[in-house]
Amino acid sequence: MTNRRARSRSLCAVAGGAALLLALSACSSSDHGKSSSASPSTSATATGAGGSPAKVSGTVVVFAAASLQETFTTLGKDFQKAYPGTKVVFSFGGSDQLAASITGGAPADVFAAASPKTMKTVTDAGDGAGTPSTFVRNELEIATLPGNPKHIASLKDLTAPGLKVALCAKTVPCGAAAQTALTASHLKLTPVSYEQDVKSALTKVELKEVDAAVVYRTDVDTAGGKVQGVNFPEAAQAINAYPIDQVKNAPNPAGAQAFIALVKSAEGQKVLSGAGFLKP
């Protein structure tokens, strides 16, 4: 059993590619480990139509899996500091619901999903601008009440009579991963509730409405002392890859490219790995 706390990281990003040229000013962490901002004079360009420079400006709308809420919020703030005048607006939720919104015409610049399957929903509909790339991976963990009063030590323990367990809905990446782990263990589990995203499942534990929930390790970390984490070996067979892509009809394509580059940059990866995400 382990408790983890997400660690805040300083952030500066320098990323480039054939379709994108970023120039972010250097930044350094403070003595207290707070995220630092880029210089107000920072400027950056992205490749526009015909290869001409396109300045990164305006609002960037990012649809992202609920488990990315803390880290992406941090990245969004630093993005705004690096590109004065920009604004990053997030919509966090279950990846399947976000994918449905995008294919239904909801305006978005970037989609970061918690599984390739949910990203495929967008790309199959022709709503992806390019080839999605995996930027992190995540592993499941059991979240229990602090002190683990029910003495849960394994995935099998969740099937004990009378134990109240919450799972993510099977259509949500964290729920699909939980089902994969249960199947690999030849276990059947009927939860008291299926939640629409991982944060909702975790909240059930925090509010003491259930004894445990199968969530991501990163969510246990960010919850701090509100829950206690229990590792289980079957989680290694159900690791989720997180893909990211620009939405085809992105209102702000230059901003989308810049945000994706930030997420995939070395410093962006430090923020993510510091929160417990695994390398892509």
Q: What tens digit of pLDDT does each residue of 26-55 get?
A: 333 333 333 333 333 333 345 544 444 568
Under the banding of pLDDT at 50, 70 and 90, the label for residue 276 is very high
Is 185 within any annotated ligand binding site? Answer: no
| Average pLDDT for 92-117 | 97
Per-residue pLDDT, averaged over 44-69, amounts to 76
For the CA atoms of 37, 40, 42, 44, what is the dihedral angle to 10 degrees? Answer: 90
Q: Could you name the CATH architecture of 140-237?
A: 3-Layer(aba) Sandwich (3.40)
Higher pLDDT: 136 or 27? It is: 136
Q: Is the pLDDT of residue 274 over 70?
A: yes
pTM of the model: 0.81
Domain boundaries, the chain: 16-137+241-274, 140-237
Residue 61 tokens read as 């709308």
Task: Select 16-137+241-274's CATH number: 3.40.50.10210, 2.60.40.290, 3.40.190.10, 3.50.50.60.
Answer: 3.40.190.10
Could you tell me how far CA 44 lies from the centroid of its own chain? 25
Q: Is 273 a known ligand-binding residue?
A: no
Q: Is 214 annotated as a binding residue?
A: no
What letter would DSSP give residue 244? E
> Environment class of residue 186 by beta-carbon count within 10 Å: exposed (0-12), middle (13-18) or buried (19+)?
exposed
Residue 83 annotated as lining a ligand binding site: no
Q: Please count the CA atoms within 13 angstroms of the CA of 171 that sit on its side-chain side.
A: 10
Chain segment 149-161, per-residue pLDDT in tens: 999 999 999 999 9
